[in-house]
Structure 1
Amino acid sequence: MKILADENMPYVDALFGDLGDIHYVNGRSLSADEVADADVLLVRSVTKVNEALLSKNQRLKFVGSATIGTDHVDKALLERRGIPFANAPGCNATAVGEFAFIAMLELGKRYGETLKGKKVAIVGAGNTGTALSRCLDAYGVDYRLCDPLLASAGDKRRFYPLDELIGWADVVSLHVPITKDGPHPTWYLFDEARLNALKPNAWLLNCCRGEVIDNRALIKIKGQRADVKLVLDVWEGEPNPMPELVPLVDIATPHIAGYSLEGKARGTFMLYQSLCKILGISEDKTLNTLLPAFRFSSLGLELGVNAALSEPNLLALCRTVYDIRDDDWQFRRDALHNGGFDNMRKNHKHRREFSALKLENATGTEVNWVSFLGFSNVG
């Protein structure tokens, strides 16, 4: 069985090596000729799985995408041709939630403000938006949700209209899929009018898809409103962001919000599980065996009985696991030159989730929330 896999998908050898011959490909430039004799196709969001790509293949048994979103896959085509498909919903949700939370702490530090006093609008309450809400719940930050699709589907959480939230929120964090059709399209969801409606000194974060924000309108608005602070992990026109936008952004990264080692491993593992089910074979691998040990076996957290963990100290703790400033610095240096955007994504192997760090000697009445935030074995 020939398995065609994106060269940037981790742990493929460890998980799929016993199931067939693995051939690695450049997912962004993958051609129909390369796919022609593949039995299994494993992709990421940079590959458009469509009629053109599959035109020369008559033997595919499975297509898997190690992603939450599926807008890059023509699922109707796969269904017509009887090709099973699986993606990995929720695989990197924790990583995206933690990324947004860390970015908010960084903005607070940079501008002498505190996240805990902010009101946060989470636009999109699926897996990643919910992961962010868990972080905010743990830290005691006031937030509200907007997701008309989940609201109409009967989700019991309380939802608010988007334009109402824009007028309420100090921070807006975007977590929606990209859609152009239906009753609630998200393409250019934040157009010039909505961008201009942001509150004074608002923070705007985009960790989903670049085209959820009209980037040219964003450049215009930033020229008029320096008060708006921006965190962009995704960009219109990836992997070629608009060069004039980058200097206007406070924290800039190359679509790596979900790129924790845990999230990457989880995504590939979910595809392995799906293929095993399709082939009717038992799984003989586990997720835990894939991950390397964290660079610290544990970290002491010393607080007095009635002491609280200050926001600067919380940020320092988060930086121990992932320092977003490193990616921001490298992005500004490399991302606009010689394939730098994709190279950063390809070589991004240092990011871990809060759960990788075990905290020891934790005492104090406010320590339990640190465990709810995701750090391991607080006690």
Structure 2
Amino acid sequence: MKPRIIVTRRWPAKVEKLLTERFDAVLNADDVPLTPADFATAFQAYDAILPTVSDRLPASVFPPEGCRTRLLANFGVGFSHIDVAAARDRGIAVTNTPGVLTDCTADIAMSLLLLVARRAGEGERQLRAGAWKGWCPTHLIGTKVSGKKLGIIGMGRIGKAMASRAHFGFGMDVVFYNRSKVDDDEIRLISARQLPSIEAVLAESDFVSLHCPGGAENKHLIGEARLSVMKPTAFLINTARGDVIDETALIHALDKGVIAGAGLDVYAEEPAVPRGLLARENVVLLPHLGSATTETREAMGMKALENLTAFFEGKPAPDRVV
């Protein structure tokens, strides 16, 4: 018999077709998020669950016993929404989809940087509202990007891709912080400098882009103290995970002029966005679009499919994290 699996949200049609061909698959045609009760039931009814970043799987939804599920094949590279300790305790494997969303996420990060620096969001809203009075020398004066300094927090695949775009596309100097030493051809090619602390990167940079993992270890990595280290003319960009930033501290910093603005694609309690961010003109807000291209979303689905197939054929899953 084919392994029985449940897909928690709509996936690209090409991937869903292959899933139904290879597995006894239950799809979510209505694309309504599963409830905690739904997940508790799914753990006892399916051999594999295919969650996404929009699904929360804390320890409380894992059954204490009688668990049928053997694999959580996550659609996405980040897996901080899954209690991996609870999965490990029950012998459930967890896989993710790294690598395939690098370029598109870096593109969105660079887009946010440009949008907030050049006040493009403000300008579009003004024009659509019929409030534009025509060109004048002092209208919506923004911040030049070319030649400025970019700070990267987390120099993994996406951090490097962002740094490359900034350096080669806009002549930006790059400094970065990473927990481990990073010294390879990519870093040397862009003449990036690794600094000893997050604070050192924040203090030097005109733009700071976050590319570190989410989860408990990095929760509120950027809070009041670290925001205060940034230049008052600097901008903060986040395409990593929402909980990496203390959103209350960020709103306070924006209110007080501690930093100049922010570009955000992710939020701590998605889809909820704090009113203090929604109300600000110097913040660009996107609805978690980092990987939202046809090519990338299909590639993510194919990665999950590869992990599923390998696992149930008794082979090592290529992207196993637990």
Percent identity over the alignment? 25
Quick one: distance in 2 between partners of 1:28 and 1:224?
Answer: 40
Residue 66 (structure 1) aligned with residue 72 (structure 2): no
**2:92 partner SS:** coil
**Among 125, 129, 146, the residue aligned to 1:116:** 146
| Alignment CA distance shift 1:163-1:28 (3 Å) | farther
Residue 75 (structure 1) aligned with residue 84 (structure 2): yes
**1:208 partner SS:** coil
Q: Which residue of 2 aligns with 1:41?
A: 49
Quick one: distance in 2 between partners of 1:155 and 1:196?
Answer: 29
Quick one: distance in 2 between partners of 1:215 and 1:93?
Answer: 25
Q: Which residue of 2 aligns with 1:232?
A: 264
Residue 257 (structure 1) aligned with residue 290 (structure 2): yes
Quick one: distance in 1 between partners of 2:107 and 2:147?
Answer: 18
**Among 19, 23, 40, the residue aligned to 1:20:** 23
Q: CA RMSD in A?
A: 2.4
Asked if the contact 1:4–1:35 (Cα under 8 Å) also holds between the matched residues in 2, the reply is: no
Quick one: distance in 1 between partners of 2:106 and 2:91?
Answer: 35
Quote the offset at 1:5 in angstroms: 0.3
Quick one: distance in 2 between partners of 1:193 and 1:97?
Answer: 27
| Alignment CA distance shift 1:223-1:28 (3 Å) | farther
**1:116 partner SS:** coil
Asked if the contact 1:66–1:271 (Cα under 8 Å) also holds between the matched residues in 2, the reply is: yes
Q: Which residue of 2 aligns with 1:91?
A: 100
Quick one: distance in 1 between partners of 2:259 and 2:93?
Answer: 48
Name whichever of 166-175 and 239-248 sits farther off.
239-248
Quote the offset at 1:38 in angstroms: 0.8
Quote the offset at 1:51 in angstroms: 4.1
Quote the offset at 1:226 in angstroms: 7.5
Quick one: distance in 1 between partners of 2:314 and 2:88?
Answer: 23
Quote the offset at 1:44 in angstroms: 0.6
Quote the offset at 1:92 in angstroms: 1.6
Quote the offset at 1:57 in angstroms: 5.2
Which digits, 9 at most, give the CA deviation of each residue in 1:275-321, with x for residues without a partner? 22123399xxxxxxxxxxxxxxxxxxxxxxxxxxxxxxxxxxxxxxx
Amino acid across the alignment from 1:159: Q
Asked if the contact 1:4–1:38 (Cα under 8 Å) also holds between the matched residues in 2, the reply is: yes
Residue 52 (structure 1) aligned with residue 60 (structure 2): yes
Quick one: distance in 1 between partners of 2:210 and 2:24?
Answer: 39
Quick one: distance in 2 between partners of 1:163 and 1:227?
Answer: 14
**1:4 partner SS:** strand
Q: Which residue of 1 aligns with 2:233?
A: 201
Could you list the runs of 4 or more consecutive aligned residues of structure 1 that deviate by over 6 angstroms after TM superposition?
none
Name whichever of 111-120 and 168-177 sits farther off.
111-120
Quote the offset at 1:199 in angstroms: 0.8
Amino acid across the alignment from 2:176: L
Asked if the contact 1:188–1:214 (Cα under 8 Å) also holds between the matched residues in 2, the reply is: yes
**1:31 partner SS:** helix
Quote the offset at 1:212 in angstroms: 1.5
**1:178 partner SS:** coil
Amino acid across the alignment from 1:120: L
Quote the offset at 1:103 in angstroms: 2.0
Q: Which residue of 1 aligns with 2:304?
A: 271
**Gaps in structure 1 of 5+ consecutive residues:** 283-379
**1:244 partner SS:** helix
Q: Which residue of 1 aligns with 2:130?
A: none
Q: Which residue of 2 aligns with 1:170?
A: 206
| Alignment CA distance shift 1:186-1:102 (3 Å) | same
Asked if the contact 1:4–1:22 (Cα under 8 Å) also holds between the matched residues in 2, the reply is: yes
**1:173 partner SS:** strand
Quick one: distance in 1 between partners of 2:91 and 2:5?
Answer: 18
Amino acid across the alignment from 1:37: A
Q: Which residue of 2 aligns with 1:190?
A: 222
State the TM-score, normalizing by the size of structure 2: 0.77
**1:143 partner SS:** strand
Quick one: distance in 2 between partners of 1:114 and 1:281?
Answer: 54
Q: Which residue of 1 aligns with 2:138?
A: none
Q: Which residue of 2 aligns with 1:159?
A: 194
Quote the offset at 1:99 in angstroms: 0.5
Amino acid across the alignment from 1:67: G
Which digits, 9 at most, give the CA deviation of each residue in 1:200-235, with x for residues without a partner? 221111111122111111121211118611111112
**2:97 partner SS:** coil
Quick one: distance in 1 between partners of 2:86 and 2:224?
Answer: 35
Amino acid across the alignment from 2:202: I
| Alignment CA distance shift 1:166-1:60 (3 Å) | same
Note the 1:269-308 alignment, pairs <5 A.
269-280=302-313
- Structure with bigger RCO (C-alpha 8 Å, 6+ apart): 2
| Alignment CA distance shift 1:28-1:155 (3 Å) | farther
Which digits, 9 at most, give the CA deviation of each residue in 1:245-304, with x for residues without a partner? 21225211122222222221121111111122123399xxxxxxxxxxxxxxxxxxxxxx
